[in-house]
Structure formats: C-alpha cells, structure tokens
Structure 1
Amino acid sequence: MTVTRSGRFARTLLLAMIAALAGAAPAAAPATDPFAPHARNPLLPGYAADPSIVHYRGEWFIFVTIDPWGGEKLGLWRSRNFRDWTFSTPNWPTKAAAHSTTSGGANVWAPSVVQGRDGRFWMYVSVGNEIWVGVADHPAGPWRDANGGKPLVRRDFRPGFHMIDAEAFIDDDGQAYLYWGSGLNWVNGRCFAVKLKPDMTSFDGEVHDVTPPHYFEGPFMVKRNGRYFLTSSWGNTTKDNYQVRYAIGDTPFGPFREPEDKPLLATDQDRQIISPGHHAVFRVGQEDFILYHRQALPFPRAGDEVLRQVAVDRLRIAGDRLLPVIPTHEGPDIAGTASHRTAGRAVALTASSARDPLHAASAAGDDNYATGWQGDATAETSWLQADLGAAGQVGESHLRPADVMQTLHFSVEASDDGRAWQRIGAPIQAQGSPISIPAAGRARFVRLRFDGAPGILEWTFP
C-alpha cells in the first residue's frame, strides 16, 4: 500500500466512522457499510484469525488463532444459534506442552479440526513453527496429544519453508489427507500433501509437493461433484494484498491448475474489506459458505499492530468454477441459524473519555463487532456509563471486550438520577466473552469503573 493510497483510505474511513457514530443516516446499505448498526460481520466479538469450524450435536464450534499473532493457547468460540458466541480456551495445545527440541519461537496458530472415520475429533495445529496433532471425543475437549509428545511435522522437515497451517481433509470414502506449508518472509510458499493412515497420526506413503500457482499459505481442500478444489491464501496478511485463490485437480494430489488468473476473495476498498484470507469452507444443506479473517477496522492501524476479525460469506460453485465471493458486512442467511444476535434494549452510552472519534462510547452499543469504545490509553482509570432512559429493574448485563484474553478489573455502580451512586457488589476481575455484569436492582444509570481503559466492543442489557 502506498502512502498516498493509505492516507486517502484512512481519511475516508475516519469520515464514515464519525458520521456513523454520531447517529447520521448511513450512506449505504448494511452490505456496504462497515459501521451500520446490527451488521453481522464480523461474526465473532473479538480479534482472531485462521478459523476452523465444526458443527456437532446442534452446536457450532469455531477454533481460532488469538490475535495479535497467537498466544499460549488457542481460542474457541461456541454457539447454538451461530450468532451469540461464548469464548473459552481448549486445554490443549499450549505453547509449553507442544514443544520439542526443534521447535521455533512462534505461538499457537492455525487450528484445523475434523471428525475422523472413528468418530473422534482430530486437531492439526501449528505450535513453535511445527505441526502437532491432538485428539478428543468432543470438539470442546478435553484434548490430548495424539503423537507421543512429538510434532507430526518438525520445523526442519523441509528446510527453507515454513511448516505451518496444516489442514485435514476427509474424502468421501473416509480417507484422510493432510495439507500444509508456507514460505518465509512472505515469499516462496510451498504446499505439501500426504495421505494419512487410519490412526490419523502416521503418513501413508510419500509426501507430495502440490503447490499451485499463487500459493503462499493456508490450504483448504474442497471436493464438489468429483472435483478437488485446492483453495489457499496468497499475499501478505499485514498488507492489503492478502487474498484467497483456488486451483482444480482430479485427485487429492492434483496436479492442480488455475482455471483463471483472478482471486476468489480479495480486498474490496469500496466496501472497506481489507485482506481477507486463511479460510475454511463449510456446507449447510446444499449451500456452501466461506469463513475467513480480514483486517479489523480502522486499517492501517498505528505502528505495526495487526488485528484481524472473523467473517462469513456465501460461496457459490458452478461446475469446475468457484465463483468470486462478494464480501459483505451484513453476512449471509444460513438455514437453521438465527438471523441476528439476541437483541438488547436500547441504552445511551457515555464514557469518561475516548481515544479518538472512531472509538466513542456509542460504538459499544450499536450491535456491530467492527466498532467499540476505547478510552484514553494513558488514563489510569476510566468509566463507561449506560442510561436506560427511566428508573426500573436492571437485570444482568453482558460485556464483550475487544481483547478476550485481557483480565478486566472494574466495579459496578448504579444510580436513579446520575448524581448519587451506589456500588453493586465487590470489585470484579474477569476475562473472556461475554462477561456477566451483576443485576443492578432498581436504577436508571449503570456505570462501570475500570482500571485502565480497556476496549469494549459491546455492552448489552436485557
């Protein structure tokens, strides 16, 4: 991105965001307005990347890399309606537990979770620049190492390339395959593939180099109508050139050919959707959907900060073509899921401060996970206050912080008139999403007093 284009885009973004947060009528429909109230993309209330999705016994599970750049654990989001999500961290892997003599310094990244022919769930995950494999009877775990405490693919398996981003594929006959690989310094990506034995932890035959044109990382295999579509990411996720590509083969090992030289999913400046990639494809009924991460807005961010969020859109397949995906902020309707998140009551939010006009208090009450309140980062304390419009019984409310791994320290106060305040319960230390705020009893105003100035995506009231 050139300085001129970056500056122009940032100014456009600033003006649009200020108008939206000030309550101005949106200039475009929700599909094109990233700041529209009730927008369904981003799907998850937090910063995450590299999603893998499982649907099991009526519940959705999305495993993610925790941004920025992973952590000591993975993130797991769970939902029964595909809209209201609860965050946790699986017991395995951890950076400490998945460590070998050849491990590198990278954190826990890029999970792939599939159900094998044995009914169990298998996770292939990047830890320390190596690929590890775990197994569980349920997607939520408990998980355990499945390969005797050693990586399935060591960091030095193919010197000069990055042994990350493993993705398992189960063919129609139940046969499992594993795809993985990336390059170094955002160039020279290679894709490797191997057939897996029934134990899901052993290679059955030789490893193939199946690298298609325009490949860097994040392979994901899709089979439809007897054709094998090897989809992957190309470009640099920290820039605006990251995108999803695809190639077609007649076997799981190809050879793979690009039907046309254009991306499946790419940056759309007009919609302010930047660097979509590292995706998963899932099917509901006869419809396909693509789950992917994209840059959190505003972009570019200060310094070298990289924060991404997870979105979902429709994927259409026509014969031997994957049709270009139209990325949206509204998100698709998916059969059997809720059309929107559970609605909270309308409240007026104010705060002690805002980092800038893009992060005003009202952004934590618009039912849009692309926006949120952020106080003055230099403040030792801050507060976020809700005016419910009239005094009445206030039940348990819910807080969705931007950083789900940050421990928040805060107290809760309530007031009938906004002048005399009463503290509700003891000070709270909490982490995760959503964080439950105790019922305030009879009140019109509820105030949260924080240590520091955490980012809050949404604060909702029953």
Structure 2
Amino acid sequence: MIKFLTSSLLFALAFNALAQNHSSNGNPITDEWYADPEGAIFDSTYWIYPTYSDDYEKQLHFDAFSSKDLINWQKHERIIDTSQISWLRQALWAPSIIEKNGRYWLFFGANDVQRPSRNGYDPNNDINHYGGIGIAVADQPAGPFEDYLGKPLIDTFYNDAQPIDQFVFKDVDGTHYFFYGGWSHCNLGKLNDDFTGFIPWEEGNLFKEITPEGYVEGPFMFLRDGVYYFMWSEGGWTNGTYRVAYAMAESATGPYERKGVILQTSEGDIATGAGHHSVIQRLDNHEYIMVYHRRPIPNEDRDHRVICLDKLEFNSDGTIKPVVMTWEGVEKDTRNNN
C-alpha cells in the first residue's frame, strides 16, 4: 500500500512538473464544457469568464478561470448562481466583465426572453415574459458576486434585439459603451455612471441599432493603434456554420466597415463551429490572443463546446489575419519564468 501511494505521489509530482514546463497552453484549456468565454486581465492575472454549457435548466451558475502564465488555469467554482439572483429561473449565459472604481461588474443574460415584455413582470405568466440582461458585482474578480439591481438592466426588446450577449467597452474618454443583442440585431447604448441605466442619445433614444452585415450575436470591441475593431458571431450556434467576423472604425460608435470572417470551421479535423469570442492582449509581449469556444470532433451534444486560445495577428494595414485553430494554443507567458 505504501509502495502504491509512493508511486502515485511520484507520478503526480512528475505530471505537475511537466505541466509547469509546457511551452504552450494546449487547446482546450479544460475538457469540461464551456462556451461564450470573455477574457480579461486584472492585477496582472489572466481571467476567463465563460458560460457553463449544458441544458438550459442546468445552466444556472458561472465558473471562472485564472492564470498567471496562460498555461496553468485555476478554476473558481460558482462565482455566482441562482441563490444570488432572485429573478433568475432559466438559463444564465454569456458573461461580460469590467472593473470600475475597484469593483468588478459582471453582466449576463438570463431567462432566455423570447418575446417583448411590455407590461413588466407578471408571476402568473410564463418565465420567458421576464428576464434579460442583468448585473452582478463583487470586490474580487473571483467573487462572490451578488445581484446589483434585483432586476434586469434591460428586460425588453429595442429595435427587435433580444436582450442577450452584452459587452461593455470603456473608451479612452471614459464612456462605457454597451453593445448587445441577439436575433440578428445589435444595439449600442451608453451606461450611466453608476450602471443603473443608460444615457439617452441626442435623438432621445436609449439605444441605436448598429447591426452590421451578417451579424447574429456575440458583439465585442477592442482598440488598437487608434483603430476600433468591432467583432461579432455569425451563423448558427448549434452547428458548424458558427464563425467570427469583424469591422474596423475610427470611433466606438462607427461607422463600421466590414472586413470579413476571421475564425470559422477548420478544414482539418480540429473542430467546427468556432465563435462567440473575446480578445485579450498579452502582458509579456503585447501580442493579441483570441479567446473563443469551438466544437470538438466528434461532437457529443448540442452543448458540447470547449474554451480555446489562439493567436490573433494583423497585416501591415491593420486588418486581421485569419485565426488558425490549433491544438497547441498560445505560448507561455514567461514574465515569472517559474
């Protein structure tokens, strides 16, 4: 028995040492099923906030992952679940996070609203009459998070956009722009200072529609060398048509010039249906990484999706090169070189 334990311990130590010395992260970062990952960097640590990918009635919490080196990822379980969101009944997905004033604001879609809710919450009606985009807040990136408003931030349809798949972008002037929308419509709003609502546009509307050609869901934006890159997912999220396209603009509010698709089903046997992504910039060499989900081959279920990291590279004119899906993933961040 002692000999067995000793052998097992030696194997575990050897495995951990090997993992520490890997030069690339290896895709996926975990074999567990997750989707819609948002990458972020807080206090020199990489974070990923994904959807827990399962049947809707089981998709009722968020986990998060953190790493110092892009190789070794620590799982933070149940950073928020139904016990912290009183109005949540069905489906929690597509988190988006931002730090403001030393606190961490987690935006999410909940209850899979299927039709406009014009008269507010009626407990006697189906749960799909109430839901939308909510906010949770915490003092640490790993939570625990608690519901901020006690109700959705957006609970109805504007410009026919389903209130899901939100992304918050802080511009250089401090404005927090709010991109969101499903059902092939994308809206843009401006959050107020305390994140309790929106600042109307000059025309008086809370949201303006900015839907680019091909848009389905999953908006994202980042700024590089004075260029605003607006990105989104196209196709069907349940199959191999899912993919990522992008546009370029001179401001966060557009106009956006569509450039094309940069991530899609691999021609080989790596994966299909790659999409609903985010982008982070490495801390060691300032290169860019696409954080996305894809469907492994063979695919076991509608919800069988996994989180992957691959390089995001640019041409000399600032356009984005097609992202190549790999098994290797991205190179280790060697800042600590441990």
Q: For this structure pair, what is the TM-score category when the shorter chain's length is used for normalisation?
A: 0.7 to 0.9
Question: 2: distance between equivalents of 1:43 and 1:214?
Answer: 29
Structure 2 counterpart of 1:112, from 96, 108, 123? 96
Deviations 1:311-355 (A, max 9, x none): 00111133341221111111121433799xx9xxxxxxxxxxxxx
Other-structure match for 1:202: 197
2:111 paired with 1:124: no
Listed as ranges, the matches of 1:184-223 within 5 Å are 189-205=184-200, 206-223=206-223
> Partner residue of 1:306?
303
Contact 1:134 1:146 in 2 (8 A): yes
Match of 2:137? 135
Per the alignment, do residues 56 and 39 of structure 1 end up closer, same or farther by CA in structure 2, a change over 3 Å counting? closer
Give 1:253 shift.
1.7
SS of match in other structure, 2:54: coil
1:129-208 → structure 2 map (5 Å cutoff): 129=112, 130-147=132-149, 149-154=150-155, 156-158=156-158, 160-183=160-183, 189-205=184-200, 206-208=206-208
Report the Cα offset of residue 69 of structure 1.
Answer: 4.5
Q: Partners of 1:225 and 1:59 in 2: how far apart? A: 23
- Deviation of the 1:160 alpha carbon: 4.6
**Residues 176-202 of structure 1 deviation map (CA, whole Å, 9 limit, x = unaligned):** 11111011xxxxx11111111221332
TM-superposed deviation, 1:137:
1.8
Q: Deviations along 1:12-46, whole A, 9 cap, x unmatched?
A: xxxxxxxxxxxxxxxxxxxxxxxxxx970112231
Given the alignment of the two structures, is residue 54 of structure 1 paired with residue 40 of structure 2, yes or no?
A: yes
CA separation of 1:173/1:195 partners in 2, compared to 1, >3 Å: closer, same or farther? same
Question: Using a 3 Å threshold, how does the CA distance of structure 1 residues 332 and 209 change in structure 2: closer, same or farther?
Answer: same
Tell whether the 8 Å contact from 1:273 to 1:295 is kept in structure 2 after alignment.
Answer: yes
Runs of 4+ in 1 over 6 A off after TM superposition: none
Match of 1:418 in 2: none
1:263-274 aligned at under 5 Å gives the runs 263-274=261-272
Q: Counterparts of 2:336 and 2:303 in 1: how far apart (Å)?
A: 31
RMSD: 2.3
Unpaired runs of at least 5, structure 1: 1-37, 184-188, 343-462
1:79 aligns with 2:84: no
How far apart, in 2, do the equivalents of 1:234 and 1:196 lie? 26
Is the alpha carbon distance of 1:145 and 1:317 closer, same or farther for their aligned partners in structure 2, counting shifts above 3 Å?
same
Shift of 1:173: 2.6
Which amino acid counterpart does residue 80 of structure 1 have in structure 2? K
Distance in 1 of aligned mates of 2:266 and 2:142: 35
Partner Cα distance (2:195, 2:212) in 1: 25
CA separation in 2, counterparts of 1:42 and 1:96? 30
- Secondary structure of the residue aligned to 1:264 is strand
Cα deviation code 1:228-254 (max 9, x no counterpart): 111010011211110000012222221
Query: Deviations along 1:55-103, whole A, 9 cap, x unmatched?
Result: 22343321111112461111212333322223233443x3454354xx7
- Per the alignment, residue 5 of structure 2 pairs with none
Distance in 1 (CA, whole Å) between partners of 2:223 and 2:147 is 29
Q: Who is 1:40 aligned against?
A: 26
Q: Residue 21 of structure 2 aligns with which residue?
A: none
| Residues 48 and 231 of structure 1: CA distance in aligned 2, closer, same or farther (over 3 Å) | same
Equivalent position to 1:98, from 85, 93, 100: 85
Whole-Å separation in 2 of the counterparts to 1:41 and 1:219: 23
Give the aligned partner of residue 63 of structure 1. Answer: 49
Identify if the C-alpha distance between structure 1 residues 113 and 336 changes in structure 2 by more than 3 Å, giving closer, same or farther. farther
Matched residues in 1 for 2:302 and 2:110: separation?
21
How far has the Cα of 1:283 moved from its partner? 0.4
TM-score (norm. length: structure 1): 0.58
Could you say if the C-alpha distance between residues 306 and 91 of structure 1 is closer, same or farther in structure 2, counting changes exceeding 3 Å?
closer
Q: For 1:160 and 1:120, locate their aligned partners in 2 and report how far apart those are by CA, in whole Å.
A: 32
Whichever residue aligns with residue 153 of structure 2, its letter is: L
Query: Is residue 208–residue 253 contact of structure 1 (8 Å, CA) maintained in 2?
Result: no
Deviation at 1:271, TM superposition (A): 4.1
Tell me, which stretches of 5 or more residues in structure 2 are unaligned? Answer: 1-23, 113-131, 201-205
Q: In the aligned structure 2, how far is the partner of 1:209 from the partner of 1:334? A: 40
TM-score, length-scaled by structure 2: 0.78
| Mapped partners of 1:226, 1:119: distance in 2 | 26
CA offsets 1:124-183 (integer angstroms, 9 cap, x no match): 111113100122221011222222x010010x2338542111111111233211111011
Query: Quick one: distance in 1 between partners of 2:246 and 2:291?
Result: 15
| Contact 2:161-2:186 at 8 Å conserved across structures | no
Contact 1:220 1:230 in 2 (8 A): yes
SS at match of 2:276: strand
Q: Which residue of 1 aligns with 2:3?
A: none
Contact 2:106–2:137 at 8 Å: present in 1 too?
yes
